[in-house]
Structure 1
Amino acid sequence: MMITIQILRIPAEISKQYWDTFLSLVSDERRQQASRFIHQADGYRSVLGEVLARVTLGKLTGRRPDELSFTRNAYGKPSLTSYPDLPFNLSHSGDWVAMISGGSNSLGVDVEKIAPIDMKIAERFFSPRESRHLAAEPAEQQMETFYRLWTLKESYIKAVGMGLSMPLDSFSMVRSSEGIWHCPEATAYRFLSQRLDEGHMLAAACSTEMELPTQPDVITIEELYQTFL
């Protein structure tokens, strides 16, 4: 089974017909959570992430999306209750939801909205090697490099499934002379890093036994909705 990465852009507004359909598919907990968000966009991201997971994993398992149930490990990583060995991972931020699935080993994905940030954060969370690399970058390139490193690190700890119990400064993301990102402390993993658009960065991680796709598949709200007609 090949690994796929899917990305879904969150629209500014979702019609009531679409929204009611999406809400009917998610868990009670998700519906209640969505109703408590102050900003509608937060509810959209939360609900559409679960809907995308249900649709994708339903196709992989041959089950109806609403039949699936999820559980989380001690560190918060989700898995399918009835198919715990089917790897997948989700992330959402800003205008995008991202999902990685397929293969037979642990997967991780992270998407982050790019916004101005205090680079001193790197001193707290990055390894000395990464901090040196970031500091050596031209000033106009530092924010780009920061988000590449951050999303790559997040995708790795999500693949491992230990959350932030694994200190972010305990491993390094390094770019080779060919422009390929790798982790010297995790040579059994491959990584992907790319911009989704001017305002968002995406990264993914998987075991070296599988290849990561070079480009994600773009899923639209309309395609997601058509699945249930």
Structure 2
Amino acid sequence: MTDDEYINEFSLQATDEIYYLANQSQQKLFDLYRIWTVKEAYVKAIGTGIAAIDLCQVCVELPLLESSARVRANGEFVPLNFITGTLGDNNKYAFTVATSCDVKCTVQVVDIGELRA
């Protein structure tokens, strides 16, 4: 399956985002994951579960920013801060944290073998 075919599988969950990925993104698959992690963080922050909301009504402002995101739900900006980033070798994993606090943060990766009980 090509990146475009994979992205089109998500076309029922996103509209503006799919158009952006298809026509403007230079790294389509990675940007899809970034958009998806923002939506996932929103769903977890509001505590409803993914089945309870229409993800087409949750829109990530485009183009994507490097370390943050803005989200609209039902046309209104969401009063949460979305902190985005990448992890892993070659920064191949995307993550997003949603918070109601106005914080600046950095993410530190700790090898599980370094943790002590």
TM-score by length of 1: 0.41
Distance 1:187 1:121, change over 3 A: same
- Show the 5 A alignment for 1:116-195: 118-126=6-14, 128-138=15-25, 140-164=26-50, 165-175=52-62, 180-185=68-73, 186-195=77-86
- Give the letter aligned to residue 56 of structure 2: D
Q: Provide Cα deviations, 1:143-189, integer angstroms capped at 9, x if missing partner.
A: 11111101110011011111111122121011468654201334301
- Give the letter aligned to residue 205 of structure 1: A
Q: Does 1:221 align with 2:105?
A: no
Give the distance between the partners of 2:31 and 2:86, measured in 1 at CA: 11
- Give the letter aligned to residue 47 of structure 2: G
Aligned length in residues: 107
Distance 1:178 1:131, change over 3 A: closer
Q: 1:211 aligns with which of 96, 100, 103?
A: 103
Cα RMSD (Å) of the superposition? 2.4
Q: Provide Cα deviations, 1:79-137, integer angstroms capped at 9, x if missing partner.
A: xxxxxxxxxxxxxxxxxxxxxxxxxxxxxxxxxxxxx67111231111x2222222222
Give the distance between the partners of 2:35 and 2:95, measured in 1 at CA: 11
Q: 2:94 aligns with which of 174, 192, 201?
A: 201
Give the distance between the partners of 1:204 and 1:177, measured in 2 at CA: 15
1:204 aligns to what SS in structure 2? strand
Unaligned runs of 5+ in 2: none
Give the distance between the partners of 1:189 and 1:150, measured in 2 at CA: 16
TM-score by length of 2: 0.75
- Give the letter aligned to residue 32 of structure 2: F
2:97 aligns to what SS in structure 1? strand
1:131 aligns to what SS in structure 2? helix
- Give the letter aligned to residue 163 of structure 1: G
